[in-house]
């Protein structure tokens, strides 16, 4: 294990990796512009520009600023949050299947949100910033249970065990959610089913205001811990050899991952595939170093969800296909393709 | 290096594919529908208005808007005589008052088996998750919603009144509230008076057929468990208990007195909750064209129950709603069922 050689190769690659990040950034901007031009009400790019300059009609401004733009930004943030969350989980568990959806963290967070919303008489009176707190609580409890169950004192975190425990817990939580369904009145019933299939429901500016600092903060935290993620993904024994205090660091990273997933879930349903696929695509594009992997995952996750949500809300308008379903339909074949090409 | 290039190309290809699929779809959408666009719809609405401009001018001498205090205690300025109402759920109440909404949710607002097809013809679907863009393009002058989480967004489009599900204790208060909103109080009162006659007629028909001490229960089979319901949870409860005055079996009465409108019970304890007249639905079976799952029909507990009590297997879609059309229909359904089975028995 020649660390020096690795870091030298890394330096050589730096420029190329920055270039990839720049390309991804422009793709994200392109996806957002495209999303802005798409919707039930047809607006030409010219009308969009006019509206942005403040010369559009009142209704055009309403649709663009209040309904579309905020929603697109929320989609981007949710995608980025889930992707980085998955990226961290895959790093600390050394398991390529780890994803906040698959191991039940989003379900746990979502369950808390739903319980909270369902037993609150008037949802519109709930302060928006409270919901992420509940989501985090639910996600953290789930993550703690999974962690305790998949940890062995002398072997560390067992990757396979983590996935299996997570899947089992996710199934149990989904069951709980089905029980809740019977408790609810017709409208809320609809709401739960929408959650289960993964839609973005909080798309007003107030959600952007709450979500943006949270996601930004956690992603910066993940970047700050990116070297540590590199070391942790080498395995427990090697990491201990580097003098990393495993337990503490891993819990911090897990908390960041939960924070990202929970923030995302506080405005969206259970969108499963983004956290799994985005880091894989990112890894193939940019290599295994988390310093680049984290921002690349965030950008790819953002692109995926902006595009998926745009397709979902326009393809059968005025009804919507949940963004989670669109991601699964488009993402699954690509993921299978990736798997078939991986030499493992 | 090579691999990287390929996968990068693949990403770009994937994106290109998504975009082309999407643009293809939006193209066909353009051809099929009459190209919904805000500016166009606005001009439509304007030309529509010029037709009855005279009438409007007359009205203008009086106030054209009024202040309405919502259930949440907010003052909302709404038109006195709304012309273009959009609602998600409250289609039945509005239709009964002679107001045909311009838009409603197909899935749980319009798909109501009690509505005559011609009365809901032309009401546009606003999407099950309520497409704000679609609502905007319909140019509503009043929006009535049961959805608290969409309330804020909707009120940016037009004056919006939020009436959460189950806000009113009975159908009279509810319809009168709608009557006040859309300036149709007389129509509301007329229908209520009319319906009260129907209720007393129905009660008369049942007199002598259904004894005063006989009980009725509402049951649903779902995911291998039974559920019982009280009088305020749709599913025919308002009609069977509140309007026809049938009694709940002790166990269900206990539950309702305890503040619960539903309870989850297993097949084994179902006999304890049994009533003389048992209204049973099975959503899952109904979706497959059967009324009741085989596993229920085969169970000895069910067979015993059916021997000792009257079990009516009813269509969940007809029992689910509780708007004026639905309770009218349910009143007929329930009376018909009770008479058909019990009058021959005597």
Per residue in A64-87, pLDDT (tens digit) is 888 899 999 999 999 999 999 999
Of the listed ranges A7-21, A309-323, B226-240, the one predicted with least confidence = A7-21
* Of residues B225, B223, B219, the one with CA closest to residue B249: B219
For residues B177 and B236, state if they share a domain: no
Would you place residue B176 in the very low, low, confident or very high pLDDT band (cuts 50, 70, 90)? very high
The predicted pLDDT at position B33 comes to: 39
Q: Dump the DSSP string for B180-232.
A: HHTT-HHHHHHHHHHHHHHHHHHHHHHTTTS-TT-BEEEEEEETTEEEEE-TT
For residues B295 and B322, state if they share a domain: yes
Query: Using one digit for the tens of pLDDT, what is the confidence trace for A289-299?
Result: 899 999 999 99
Min distance A87 CA to chain B CA atoms (Å): 18
What number of C-beta contacts closer than 8 Å exist between A and B?
143
Of B160, B189, B218, the residue at which a domain comes to its end is B189
Looking up residue B99, the CATH number of its domain turns out to be 3.40.50.1980
Range of the domain at A72: 3-341
Min distance B129 CA to chain A CA atoms (Å): 7
Contact A192, A177 (CB under 8 A): yes
CA distance A279 to A289: 11
pLDDT at B342 over 90: no
The predicted pLDDT at position B167 comes to: 84
Would you place residue B308 in the very low, low, confident or very high pLDDT band (cuts 50, 70, 90)? confident
Number of H helices, E strands in chain A: 15, 2
Instruction: Summarize the confidence of residues B17-34 as an average pLDDT.
Output: 44
CA distance B236 to A206: 40
Return the bridge partners of A310, or none. Answer: none
Q: Which of A124, A307, A318 sits opposite B18 (nearest CB)?
A: A307
The predicted pLDDT at position A118 comes to: 67
Would you place residue A181 in the very low, low, confident or very high pLDDT band (cuts 50, 70, 90)? low
Q: Which of A48, A318, A331 to mutate to test the interface with B (most CBs of B within 10 A)?
A: A318
For residues B110 and B164, state if they share a domain: yes
Instruction: Summarize the confidence of residues B72-100 as an average pLDDT.
Output: 93
How far lies A317's CA from each of B134, B146, B155, B172, in Å?
A: 8, 21, 21, 36
Q: How many domains does chain A have?
A: 1
* Of residues A89, A118, A76, A127, the one with CA closest to residue A259: A89
Query: Using one digit for the tens of pLDDT, what is the confidence trace for B184-204?
Result: 999 999 999 999 999 999 999
Contacts of B79 (CB under 8 A, 6+ apart): B64, B65, B66, B141, B142, B159
Q: How many domains does chain B have?
A: 2
For residues B252 and B291, state if they share a domain: yes
Tell me whether residue B98 is in a domain. yes
Q: Look up residue B292 and give its two tokens.
A: 């009741």
For residues B157 and B231, state if they share a domain: no
pLDDT at B20 over 60: no
pLDDT at A274 over 70: yes
Higher-confidence residue of A115 and A64: namely: A64
Residues of A with CB below 8 A from B29's CB? Answer: 314, 317
Q: Give the DSSP H or E segment for A206.
A: helix A205-224
Question: What is the maximum alpha-carbon separation in chain B?
Answer: 89
Tell me whether residue B60 is in a domain. yes
Q: Which of A27, A40, A124 sits opposite B36 (nearest CB)?
A: A40
Return the bridge partners of B227, or none. Answer: B220, B264
Range of the domain at B71: 52-189
Higher-confidence residue of A127 and B157: namely: B157
Contact A17, A287 (CB under 8 A): yes
CB atoms within 10 A of CB A185: 17
For residues B257 and B178, state if they share a domain: no
DSSP B249: P
For residues B212 and B296, state if they share a domain: yes
DSSP E strands, chain B: 65-69, 75-79, 85-87, 103-104, 124-125, 142-145, 160-162, 216-222, 225-229, 262-265, 277-281, 310-313
Contact A81, A215 (CB under 8 A): yes
Looking up residue A206, the CATH number of its domain turns out to be 1.10.3470.10
Query: Using one digit for the tens of pLDDT, what is the confidence trace for B138-147?
Result: 999 999 998 8
pLDDT at B62 over 70: no
Q: For all residues of chain B together, what is the average pLDDT?
A: 81
Contact A132, A209 (CB under 8 A): no
How far lies A344's CA from each of A89, A338, A339, in Å?
A: 20, 12, 9
Tell me whether residue B11 is in a domain. no
- Could you tell me the sign of the dihedral formed by the alpha carbons of B200, B205, B208, B214, in that order? negative
Query: Using one digit for the tens of pLDDT, what is the confidence trace for A137-161?
Result: 888 899 889 888 887 777 667 777 8
For residues B65 and B181, state if they share a domain: yes
Tell me whether residue B202 is in a domain. no
For residues B68 and B170, state if they share a domain: yes
């Amino acid at each position: 294990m020649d660390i020096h050689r690795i870091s030298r190769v890394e330096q050589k690659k730096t420029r190329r990796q920055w270039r990839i990040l720049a390309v991804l950034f422009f793709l994200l901007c392109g996806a957002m512009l495209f999303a802005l031009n798409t919707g039930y009400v047809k607006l030409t790019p010219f009308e969009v520009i006019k509206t942005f300059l403040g010369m559009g009609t009142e209704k055009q401004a309403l649709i663009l600023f209040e309904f579309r733009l905020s929603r697109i930004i929320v989609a981007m943030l949710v995608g980025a949050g889930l992707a980085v969350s998955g990226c961290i989980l895959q790093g600390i568990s050394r398991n390529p299947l780890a994803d906040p959806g698959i191991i039940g963290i989003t379900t746990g967070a979502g369950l808390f949100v739903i319980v909270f919303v369902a037993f609150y008489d008037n949802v519109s009176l709930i302060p928006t910033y409270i919901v992420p707190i509940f989501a985090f609580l639910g996600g953290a409890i789930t993550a703690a249970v999974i962690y305790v169950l998949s940890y062995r004192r002398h072997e560390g975190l067992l990757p396979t065990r983590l996935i299996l425990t997570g899947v089992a817990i996710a199934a149990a939580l989904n069951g709980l959610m089905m029980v809740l369904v019977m408790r609810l009145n017709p409208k809320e019933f609809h709401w739960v089913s929408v959650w289960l299939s993964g839609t973005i429901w909080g798309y007003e500016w107030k959600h952007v205001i709450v979500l943006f600092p949270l996601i930004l903060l956690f992603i910066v935290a993940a970047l700050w811990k990116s070297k540590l993620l590199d070391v942790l993904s080498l395995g427990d024994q090697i990491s201990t050899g580097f003098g990393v205090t495993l337990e503490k660091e891993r819990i911090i990273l897990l908390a960041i991952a939960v924070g990202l997933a929970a923030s995302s879930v506080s405005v969206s349903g259970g969108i499963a595939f983004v956290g799994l696929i985005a880091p894989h695509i990112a890894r193939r594009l940019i290599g295994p170093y988390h310093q680049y992997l984290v921002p690349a995952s965030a950008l790819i996750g953002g692109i995926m969800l902006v595009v998926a949500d745009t397709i979902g809300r326009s393809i059968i308008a005025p009804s919507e296909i949940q963004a989670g379903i669109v991601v699964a339909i488009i993402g699954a074949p690509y993921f299978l393709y990736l798997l078939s090409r991986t030499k493992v | 290096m090579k691999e990287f290039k390929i996968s990068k190309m693949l990403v770009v290809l994937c994106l290109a594919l998504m975009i082309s699929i999407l643009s293809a779809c939006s193209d066909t959408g353009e051809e099929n529908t009459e190209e919904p666009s805000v500016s166009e719809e606005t001009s439509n609405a304007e030309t529509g208005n010029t037709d009855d401009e005279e009438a409007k001018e007359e009205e203008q001498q009086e106030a054209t808007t009024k202040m309405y205090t919502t259930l949440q205690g907010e003052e909302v300025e709404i038109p006195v005589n709304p012309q273009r109402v959009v609602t998600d759920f409250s289609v039945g109440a509005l239709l009964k008052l002679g107001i045909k909404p311009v838009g409603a949710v197909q899935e749980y607002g319009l798909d109501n088996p009690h509505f005559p097809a011609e009365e809901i013809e032309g009401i546009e679907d606003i999407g099950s998750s309520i497409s704000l863009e679609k609502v905007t393009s319909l140019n509503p002058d009043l929006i009535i919603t049961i959805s608290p989480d969409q309330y804020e967004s909707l009120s940016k489009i037009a004056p919006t009144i939020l009436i959460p599900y189950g806000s009113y204790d009975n159908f009279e208060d509810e319809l009168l509230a709608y009557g006040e909103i859309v300036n149709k109080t007389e129509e509301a009162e007329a229908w209520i008076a009319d319906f009260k006659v129907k209720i007393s007629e129905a009660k008369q028909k049942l007199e002598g057929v259904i004894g005063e001490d006989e009980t009725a229960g509402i049951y649903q089979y779902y995911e291998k468990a039974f559920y019982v319901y009280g009088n305020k949870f749709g599913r025919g409860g308002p009609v069977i208990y509140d309007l026809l005055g049938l009694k709940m079996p002790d166990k269900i009465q206990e539950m309702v007195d305890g503040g619960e409108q539903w309870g989850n019970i297993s097949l084994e304890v179902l006999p304890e909750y049994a009533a003389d007249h048992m209204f049973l639905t099975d959503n899952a079976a109904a979706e497959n064209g059967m009324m009741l799952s085989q596993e229920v029909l085969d169970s000895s507990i069910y067979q015993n129950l059916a021997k000792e009590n009257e079990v009516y297997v009813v269509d969940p879609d007809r029992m689910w709603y509780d708007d004026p059309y639905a309770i009218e229909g349910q009143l007929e359904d329930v009376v018909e069922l009770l008479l058909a089975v019990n009058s021959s028995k005597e």
